[in-house]
Structure 1
């Protein structure tokens, strides 16, 4: 048993043993059941998660989002550009016992300070945090031949609030190249889950150039161009108060609050951005 799960499994183990007191189940089966962390535990009863990250659940809806993407604890999952690890804090312990988590972080060849420091801090946490200890760190750059996981090995590839970066750097080609990499990593029938800041469809495309917002239709078109089948869209992460027209783009809103004290109460009241949540599938017939 791994120490990280000791507290979580103690109470669960007592109830499971009582239910199996007639001897109908083996000790091995009881132990396996006790070791399985539920998604609710990974989100709400998880000592790895920081207090600040817990406060953002109201905007990011992790239980509903991961359930929509069909993430199960025995899957192989790739998280793209995990940054400081907001979703990693949930995925790492959830997958630790029976699944596998690849963290496709910024490329080691990056020279920009933000990317270098973010990857360095993440690598250090993997080395020190028991909940992160089984993570396999890979790398991803949309304009490079990145192996984010062995080809055809992943059940799920998940990317949260990243497409706008690839678009701002390389336009539609950058987004399509990213999706092509995800397609290669997924098993036939595997799912790509995408969340990003939504630009209203009636705005000019030029509003995607630097605002941090991106059109849902562009994401769908790029995924289909890479070979994916569009499965479904969810309004789990909708925010009707977000007008997507701020002086510093999406970074005007929480958590960045790029204007500091200027109109702070207004932006706090709006909350985090309006986001689309999309699910795509690699066709079963893919080789």
Structure 2
């Protein structure tokens, strides 16, 4: 296959919400023949003006291309859209937000219908799609053969990161990163709440907070190394017992500032459980084992 043939590879896209529309525009701008379908036909009109072929039915859209990308509301929407549609010989890439279990079930479902399957977890918001230097990328898992066959096309809207043949791994990586992000947001919220009633300008405090969080990210690698070798005392500078002693100050300060400690309390309680189990000389890595029931 020539480079030109790769650049002009056709595909079908089901779903034209904010993310689907961003994906569609990026593929169209790159010159790829694109067939689109959306439950509300009006969303397809602007893309038709940009060169997309608009299918009136899901079956018609799927029939138009070997590669079918799905970007719908949820897993139930994928079921509803594709029930009864012939997928024989198709390469199905599902970029719909799902859980690992849903992705694994969808992979089995696709194989039973004669299709290869790849699940994707988009690590971006729509404005980042197709924007050079935005850092947008997509986790992919499932059929390696499908990923390799369509890699150049999939890489047009955003970077790609293939994370394994297990179809659930893309969703798992996606949710793991988003969960860490939400934990960080919780800490940020608590920090701003502490200074909220004081004569401290949030915009002046923000760079200090951001720099501190960046500095603390190195602990991720230490935690990973301890999980890998099972030695939770390796390289520990501030052990669990020391950190728990300091937690009293965190809680007392929250009380003095009239700030709820409800965002901190669950994590601090897990640390207390580790200490009660005689693990005061370790790091906080043992919290991972408490969570992984």
TM-score, with length taken from structure 1: 0.32
Higher helix share: 2
TM-score, scaled to structure 2: 0.31
Which one has the bigger strand percentage? 1
Q: Which has the larger radius of gyration?
A: 2
